[in-house]
A = this chain, B = another copy of it.
Amino acid sequence: MDRLEEKTTSKEIIYEGRIIDLSIHQVALPNGKESKREIINHPGAVAVLAVNKEGKLILVKQYRKALEKSIAEIPAGKLEKGEDPKACAARELEEETGYRAGSLEKVMSFYTSPGFADEIVHLYEAKDLSQGKAGTDEDEFVELLEATLDEAVSMIRDETIHDAKTICAIQHYRLTEK
């Protein structure tokens, strides 16, 4: 029993799309009053912290239509229906960067925009990278970037990197690596 719960009294589905769905919930608040919540449902995603044998962090530059610009991010991608997050992480890393992970360890999971969306990102750390075979989705265009940890920290400072999952991953790396 959650004292803060907002119970749905009615729900309207506005849009069911390829990646996201939008619905409007009429909710009863804890004080009995009514309000409205706009909710995006998303299948979830994975992201991969990968550092190659030269100690360089693997990033990809990708055009983000929502931002109308390209930004640098760690390799990431959305989960296919029923897909295992770890398998998805291995697939996305290789497709986007050409690196194959010897092993993948779960770092953590986090919600990205809990105020309006249920998207969760599962962050993995890739170990023992070797050369695999790049080959992106037919409608995905990415450029590989490699950065030393110092460069990545500078990129956060000057907002060349300003993506939450990428910052979480880099800070995690700084906190755990020697």
Contact = CB atoms under 8 A, between A and B. Distances in A.
Interface stretch (A11-19, A51-59, A94-102, A124-132): A11-19
Contacts of A33: 138-139
Interface string A151-162: 000001101001
A64 to B, nearest CB: 4
Contacts of A171: 168, 171-172, 175
Contacts of A175: 171, 174-175
Interface string A70-111: 110100101000000000000000000000000000001111
Nearest to A108: B156
Given A27-B65, A67-B111, A70-B4, A116 B164 contact: no
A140 B135 CA distance: 46
A133 interface: no
Contacts of A30: 141
A36 to B, nearest CB: 7
22 contacts: A4-B70, A5-B63, A6-B65, A18-B36, A18-B38, A19-B115, A19-B116, A20-B116, A30-B141, A66-B114, A67-B114, A71-B114, A73-B114, A78-B115, A110-B162, A112-B113, A113-B117, A113-B119, A114-B163, A164-B165, A168-B168, A175-B175
